[in-house]
Amino acid sequence: MQATLKARPNRRLSILARLSAALLLALGAWLAAGVVPIAAPLDLRTAPAVLVMVGDPGCPYCARWDEEVSRSYRMSEEGKFAPLVQRTRGDPEISDLKKIVYSPTFVMLAYGQEVGRIVGYQGSDLFWMQLEQLAAKAGFVPVGKVAH
């Protein structure tokens, strides 16, 4: 009678396979939920367009903007055209900007040059109306509209 040996499964491969499957499921769930992976930092001096949100720690208007607008901004055409960069007042990267008085202040930059700003936050409707004009100054043309 001949004995046969059963091959034992490689435990490490089994654990790696389960871990890989779990990571893929998590990534799929994040993408489905609209969570965007962290991108490389933008260079504010050379980016074609960027919206810099300057705020202060504990600013209630900044928190309200984050709740009401930030997610939809990041997913909007404007947000893709001019990605949002958040900085606190006094950050050396924005030291060349004209004085920031109110928090939040949204500064649209095109290749490092200030195109315009939105001072304060008074609700999402007003923000989107002001943003439309600001983005147009930076060269944004919405899909479906032809530039003349």
What pLDDT score was predicted for residue 36? 46
pLDDT tens across 71-91, in order? 999 999 999 999 999 999 999
**Domains observed in the chain:** 50-137 (3.40.30.10)
Res. 116: pLDDT tops 50: yes
Sequential DSSP letters for the chain: ----PPPPP-HHHHHHHHHHHHHHHHHHHHHHTTPPPPPPPP-TTT-S-EEEEEE-TT-HHHHHHIIIIIHHHHHSHHHHHS-EEEEETT-GGGTTSPPP-SSSEEEEEETTEEEEEEES---HHHHHHHHHHHHHHTT---TT----
